[in-house]
Structure 1
Amino acid sequence: MPNDLRPYDAVLGGKTPPPIGGLVLGGIFGVKTRINSAIAPQRRTALIEALKYGEAGLDLLVKSLEDSSVVVRYGARILISQRSPAVIENQFEQWSQYQDFSYITSLEQPFNFHSRPVNAITIDGQFLISCHRDHSIRVWSLVLGKQIFTLTGHTDIVTSVVISRNRKLLISGSCDRTIKVWDLTKLRNPEVLTLKGHHGYVNSVALLPDQNTLVSGSQDTTIKFWDISKGKNLRTIKGHTNLVNAVVLSPDGQIMASCSWNTMIRVWNPHTGSQIWELIGHSAKVWSFAITPDNQILVSGSKDKTIKLWDLVTGREIATLEGHKGEVRALAISKDGQTLFSASFKEIKIWNLASRQLIRTLKGHLGLINAIALSEDGLTLISGGEDALINIWAVP
């Protein structure tokens, strides 16, 4: 729910800076003044202020789609998409400069960012949540391009993160062998639950559509199902003989896939825990997964530098995509199921899933890319990696 208040909404509101070298003008007149400022950071903060003024504020956001600064245009587009998606559709020509895949900006990193490679990311409307090697979870304003909130509590590297559909709960997995549940409606003491039971690193977490059943994959070779409202382990699957790198659920929650360091991919019925398929084809460990919206195709990325497409109806390999120079660490599929995004060493490749043809290669990272995520409206791709960069890309 885009308008639900979360702690970082409050923090963001409290960090809107006054204009440099001038008095703070109140009301819609003050917002208009700041949104026409010659200083881009002032215009970015004014975008958030405009949300308070109904249709008049929305008109200011729409006008900002024509701003000379790409980051201001991007911030306006995010806020309009959250507030009034139909307006974005009607004003799409104003966004015409993004008819091709292109780099927008990078989020501003702290001074000692080199100690904070990005392990995982998820997008929450106008906010981004990232997991880091320094044990932290960081919340960023995509409109301002700045970090605004930090969650601390894990005692080791945070490996994975997922947010509930209502945007109230955040779940994180860590090398400290625990899973933490955070209440994003609480400004103080947001950590509400710690799940213990794994005997190795928790490498992956995913939520079933009921938003109460959590799935976790671990270094201890098991997959566990949890009731997060009760803090209870429901069942454990012991199908792998090596550590579980990742688990992924289909959009409707009817299919689950898991991968291991021994190249094995297993496909499961998450409701019964029964195995459907065992997929063999990669020559090295499998790192990443994605499932098409129609549940027909599973896509896997591997250390062997290839991407494989699997038919989930027959359990057969459909195709192999080649071209990456390093291991394929992250995958994402567009909501219409037509476009595949794959991340590897320094590059993100974009593929047409139907033709299996490469569309574009995005370059902007300095090392291995660990995570990619698409925004809810499908118009933004965000990537994070070993170089501690978080890059934002436009998607046509």
Structure 2
Amino acid sequence: MKTEFKFSNLLGTVYSQGNLLFSPDGSCLFSPVGNRVTVFDLVNNKSHTLPFAHRKNIARLGLTPRGNLLLSVDEDGHVILTNVPRRIALHHFTFKSSVSALAFSPSGRHFAVGVGRNIQVWHTPSTPDQNVDGELEFAPFVLHRVYAGHYDTVQSIEWSSDSRFFLSAAKDLTARIWSLDPEEGFVPTTLAGHREGVLGAYFSKDQETIYTISKDGAVFQWAYLRNPNAPEPEEDQEVDDEDEDFHTRWRITERHYFLQNNAKVNCAAYHAESNLLVAGFSNGVFGLYEMPEFNMIHTLSISQNDIDFVTINKTGEWLAFGASKLGQLLVWEWQSESYILKQQGHFDSMNALIYSPDGQKIVTTADDGKIKVWDVNSGFCIVTFTEHSSGVTACEFAKKGNVLFTSSLDGSIRAWDLTRYRNFRTFTAPTRLSFSSLAVDPSGEVVCAGSLDSFDIHIWSVQTGQLLDRLAGHEGPISSLAFAPNGGVVVSGSWDHTVRIWSIFDRTQTSEPLQLQADVLDVAFRPDSRQLAVSTLDGQLTFWSVSDAEQQSGVDGRRDVSGGRKITDRRTAANAAGTKSFSAIRYSADGTCVLAGGNSKYICLYSVDSLVLLKKYTVSINLSLSGTQEFLNSKLLTEAGPAGLIDEQGDASDLEDRIDRTLPGSTRGGDPSARKRMPEVRVTGVAFAPTGRSFCAASTEGLLIYSLDTMPLFDPIDLDLAVTPASTIHVLEKEKDYLKALVMAFRLNEAPLIRQVFEAIPHNNISLVVDELPVVYVPRLLCFVGMQTEESPHLEFCLLWVQAILNSHGEWVRENRASVDAELRTVSRAVGQVRDELRRLADENCFTIDYLLSQPVGTNGAQNGAQNGQKTITNGTDTQEVEMDDDDGDAEWIGLD
């Protein structure tokens, strides 16, 4: 089995903190998710997470006007410069302090950064397509100038449209106007008058007006005017420029107020082209206003908590909102008043996850009582179930994959229909129990559940919903349940140091106890139902024969799972191995490996036969989480204890930040709106995809997906100096050697070039090209044709390629099915999608024809139609023509006039 799994995507979390960014064309939205950046493609309805990761949570994002370079800054001021199209981290840099504002100039030559009370302007790093030599700079970050003058943290920076000036707004109740370079007659100006910190300052389109917005809801409009009380110059007196400048300055012309019932303004954005002002308030409401008249277009409540950030795309049509407390991300089209994107992750820790049998969906459950279904290909949550009134602890699919079962602490087991998305059955016990584990018979006829309150296993019939039996025998709470894949037995693990194998379908129900050395945390069956893996609290993994009820082998995983110190740990990570264990284990699809995760930052992959650790995957390097460091810094240890545990909320500068709204004594579940300051990194669930090509893990960071199919953008094979994009195009267009051009494109392996060559090959030459194609390129061609079938409008062209590949290389594909399984699944999914679309289109045409034929016929129309051999149908003002076939009288649809 291959073990080179690499991080491919992050689901389950859509927004954490910081600012949101639209791409220049407005089709993509960049969102900071912990210490990573997720890009949401709003047009194609897909999302992907950039592969790099910061050492702390991201605080600010900046994107060049061309959209090719991304600056991401974490809480400590460390910067990663990323090439967005290539998804490659180019450079690491640090500002040595926290960054509160970041903005690129419209020209793209400079960017301004708010570092504390100062503003730093830097030259934008150039890219190869900008330089004459086509090389990157040796020193990509060059400081242009530092601007000082504010007395408190800078909160916002906005550039003028000509990139000569920029505005800064700060907590010191002022906004200031700065020039990039020294301008003749210009003096940096301070705009004062607000009573609370200024959140934003913006230029109008003609730059004759400035708008400033403060936290208390005041909007001031400024204009460059002459003092009305200044004496007017006499007609015969020459006007001195210096005297005129003395009397002319920026003055407040209008004062407006939001008046949102004591709610504070948390964020604001202004679109100069359409004069739109958007403000997000602390009560979860946003308002849209037209300037300069300050006419309210509409307000909408989109969250129960603060709106942390708002931005507008370049055309002014879409508004993006982020709310960090509940992890909400919204894109709103204000003209049609409809959602373009509405996503929300779990706002409490995830408990369990499972792949659907077809591998296209992942189901997650969490302590917030929600069940979310995630689409693996798009990365979006497609449905959320909220019927459970308490934390959801486990989930299982029936074998066919259209029925999902979940257990909850509210005392119920629920069955969900994933075709109609509804709860069609609820199972409860005679007494109120909090169910913690779940197992479903592969046939879907029987469901079992275990509880931490009762030591019995409850069994229900799915068809009738009746409680069939209660299995007694354990002397402690039941922690895990699992049905054998062949449906013969069910296995239960308990805190009483035993695992029991139950034959519940026999005439006499028997149980075979297996004795272990510590509390059982999780059990898992091998796909062939012959072996059982058990994880215990002492960090051991043991493997048992199901038929003989004997232990076959075992692995001591304490050293493997240990790593990472929490803030409260008094020992090093190496000496704290006894506290770590695996709380979730799963077999791979072929049964040769076991994946294990627990209260650690590591996921371990073990070989079942050789009992060796094949690979360790680090879940997170985010220092904002507790348990990611191997060694603690003694400088952070104060007389009052670790600095990370000291509550600094009372020292905040703003009153809203000093108020403690948490419930007294609540740590988990009692106050869902409050999160811990430094949550502990842990893995609560792991699952292998049915294909074996990927696995996912539910962690503190979110839903991490690791895959073997993460193909980089540039992965050349058999490359030499003669193979270039220009030579490939020459072979394609001048020499007309289509096979050679296709092989050269595959060697370069750049998607745009492969697509150009692919679409230029005439359809009557497809079979000839595929016949002569070397076998080494067949998997790549299969994968590429499958993706093109999903995206390209040339359906028949792509299907001809699929047919030619299977006709010419079908024997080789069958012999090497294991190596091309992922490519075949891509082609199968694409062909199925084409079939469904064509069937839907044909059905619509049939319904349209039936409707037209059922309409009443006009007298004159019928006579005229009879003379021309046609039947004319008149319905109001529309006229349709239906040509009659002479042979069988069936109608052939021509069209609508």
Instruction: Settle same-fold status: TM greater than 0.5.
Output: yes
* Contact 2:456 2:470 (8 Å CA) reproduced: yes
Shift of 1:312: 2.0
Residues 42/267 of structure 1: CA separation in 2 closer, same or farther (3 Å cut): same
Match of 2:444 in 1: 211
| 1:376 corresponds to which of 674, 679, 690 | 690
Match of 1:281 in 2: 516
Q: TM-score scaled to structure 1, two decimals?
A: 0.70
* Contact 1:207 1:213 (8 Å CA) reproduced: yes
Residue 555 of structure 2 corresponds to residue 321 of structure 1: yes
Residue 590 of structure 2 corresponds to residue 336 of structure 1: yes
* Contact 1:266 1:275 (8 Å CA) reproduced: no
1:263-302 correspondence to structure 2 within 5 Å: 263-272=497-506, 274-283=509-518, 285-302=519-536
Residue 560 of structure 2 corresponds to residue 305 of structure 1: no
- Cα distance in structure 1, aligned partners of 2:26 and 2:611: 56
Residues 329/395 of structure 1: CA separation in 2 closer, same or farther (3 Å cut): farther
Match of 1:121 in 2: 353
Shift of 1:372: 0.6
| 1:393 corresponds to which of 706, 711, 727 | 706
* Contact 2:46 2:380 (8 Å CA) reproduced: no
**What letter is aligned with 1:381?**
F
> C-alpha deviations, 1:266-319, integer Å up to 9, x for none?
111131373342111222x11111111232221101111111111223222222
**What letter is aligned with 1:117?**
S
1:72-83 correspondence to structure 2 within 5 Å: none
1:38-49 correspondence to structure 2 within 5 Å: 41=41, 45=45
Q: Which has the higher contact order (CA 8 A, sep 6+)?
A: 1
* Contact 2:354 2:364 (8 Å CA) reproduced: yes
- Cα distance in structure 2, aligned partners of 1:393 and 1:46: 17
Shift of 1:336: 1.6
Residues 299/194 of structure 1: CA separation in 2 closer, same or farther (3 Å cut): same
- Cα distance in structure 1, aligned partners of 2:413 and 2:554: 34
Match of 1:142 in 2: 376
Q: 3-state DSSP class of the match of 1:224?
A: strand
> C-alpha deviations, 1:33-87, integer Å up to 9, x for none?
xxxxxx883686379xxxxxxxxxxxxxxxxxxx9669xxxxxxxxxxxxxxxxx
* Contact 1:372 1:383 (8 Å CA) reproduced: yes
Residues 362/43 of structure 1: CA separation in 2 closer, same or farther (3 Å cut): farther
Match of 1:110 in 2: 327
Residue 490 of structure 2 corresponds to residue 256 of structure 1: yes
Match of 1:26 in 2: none
| 2:605 corresponds to which of 327, 350, 366 | 350
Q: TM-score scaled to structure 2, two decimals?
A: 0.32
> C-alpha deviations, 1:354-391, integer Å up to 9, x for none?
11111001111462211111111111100003x15211
Shift of 1:183: 1.6
Please tell me whether Structure 1 or Structure 2 has the larger radius of gyration of its CA atoms: 2
Aligned residues: 304
Match of 1:247 in 2: 481
**What letter is aligned with 1:263?**
H
- Cα distance in structure 2, aligned partners of 1:277 and 1:377: 33
Match of 1:160 in 2: 394
- Cα distance in structure 2, aligned partners of 1:350 and 1:382: 13
> C-alpha deviations, 1:160-218, integer Å up to 9, x for none?
1112222222111001111111122225xx12221111542111112112212111112
1:178-193 correspondence to structure 2 within 5 Å: 178-187=412-421, 190-193=422-425
Shift of 1:255: 2.3
Residue 373 of structure 2 corresponds to residue 151 of structure 1: no
Q: Which runs of 5+ in 2 are unaligned?
A: 1-22, 28-38, 48-84, 89-323, 329-343, 563-579, 626-680, 710-897
Give the superposed CA RMSD: 2.8
Shift of 1:320: 2.1
**What letter is aligned with 1:212?**
E
**What letter is aligned with 2:543?**
L
**What letter is aligned with 1:353?**
V
Residues 351/303 of structure 1: CA separation in 2 closer, same or farther (3 Å cut): same
**What letter is aligned with 2:354?**
T
Residues 210/134 of structure 1: CA separation in 2 closer, same or farther (3 Å cut): same
Shift of 1:350: 0.5
Q: 3-state DSSP class of the match of 1:329?
A: strand
**What letter is aligned with 1:45?**
N
> C-alpha deviations, 1:315-342, integer Å up to 9, x for none?
2222221232212111111122111111
**What letter is aligned with 1:265?**
V
Q: 3-state DSSP class of the match of 1:340?
A: strand
| 2:618 corresponds to which of 337, 360, 363 | 363
**What letter is aligned with 1:383?**
A
- Cα distance in structure 1, aligned partners of 2:708 and 2:608: 16
Shift of 1:114: 7.7
- Cα distance in structure 2, aligned partners of 1:45 and 1:384: 23
Residues 311/388 of structure 1: CA separation in 2 closer, same or farther (3 Å cut): same
**What letter is aligned with 2:685?**
A
- Cα distance in structure 1, aligned partners of 2:615 and 2:381: 30
> C-alpha deviations, 1:108-147, integer Å up to 9, x for none?
9925968411100011232211001111111112222232
Match of 2:882 in 1: none
Q: 3-state DSSP class of the match of 2:619?
A: strand
Identity of aligned residues (%): 21
